[in-house]
A and B are shown apart, each in its own frame.
Chain A
Amino acid sequence: NAGVTQTPKFRVLKTGQSMTLLCAQDMNHEYMYWYRQDPGMGLRLIHYSVGEGTTAKGEVPDGYNVSRLKKQNFLLGLESAAPSQTSVYFCASSHPQGLTYSPLHFGNGTRLTVT
């Protein structure tokens, strides 16, 4: 069981470039999430998905898009990267809240720098 796997681990982009962050989980979790973590800001939710083919906006969705084509994968896209998107990005997954007493399981993060 690998849990939640994020790729890549590190990336440097120039302003205006695009990229996709991949998250994969092997726990058969329904829910998946993308967070960003900045110094002193804690974890802020970007987008999340409650099942294959569904996505929803979180607290800070602007500048990002997501797709959940397969249950085990959740992709986070940056179409035109900006320096303000320099951050550490974490993916997480969980069983549905209310059905199973299951907290979030996190990956180890992707450190993105936009110059």
Chain B
Amino acid sequence: GESVGLHLPTLSVQEGDNSIINCAYSNSASDYFIWYKQESGKGPQFIIDIRSNMDKRQGQRVTVLLNKTVKHLSLQIAATQPGDSAVYFCAEGVYSGNTPLVFGKGTRLSVIA
């Protein structure tokens, strides 16, 4: 719900512009990364994922970039729409292991119409 968004970094973007949400991950052994979108009052929804053998992956209006050298992940949203307003989480994990994903604290995206 709304209380989830308190104290989160916030990115405000004009409708139609491109959005870039950044995430720094901590575990050098992580080789699997996922972006989730969470709308108010709902559970997180899968957006896109990427494995460490790639540095870029594209979906519908979204692109994930991975920079393993500096342990950085970004989510780019093209032509941002009001429906994109939500909290975005990155998650990291080890693809071949049994250890669960670790989630970042999230970034709130606010689209200005």
A44 to B97, CA, bound (A): 19
Interface residues in chain B, defined as those with a beta carbon under 8 Å from any beta carbon in chain A: 1, 3-8, 32, 34, 36, 41-46, 49, 89, 91, 93-98, 100-101, 103-106
A53 at the interface (CB under 8 A from B): no
- B98-A50 in contact (CB<8A): yes
A48 contacts which chain B residues (CB < 8 A)?
100
A105 contacts which chain B residues (CB < 8 A)?
46
Residues of A within 8 Å of B, CB-based: how many?
29
A71 to B7, CA, bound (A): 37
A98 in contact with B46 given A39-B3, A40-B6, A108-B41 (CB within 8 Å): no
Interface residues in chain A, defined as those with a beta carbon under 8 Å from any beta carbon in chain B: 4, 33, 35, 37, 39-45, 48, 50, 58, 88, 90, 92, 96-98, 101, 103-109, 111
- B103-A108 in contact (CB<8A): no
- B97-A97 in contact (CB<8A): yes
- A42-B100 in contact (CB<8A): no
- A98-B6 in contact (CB<8A): no
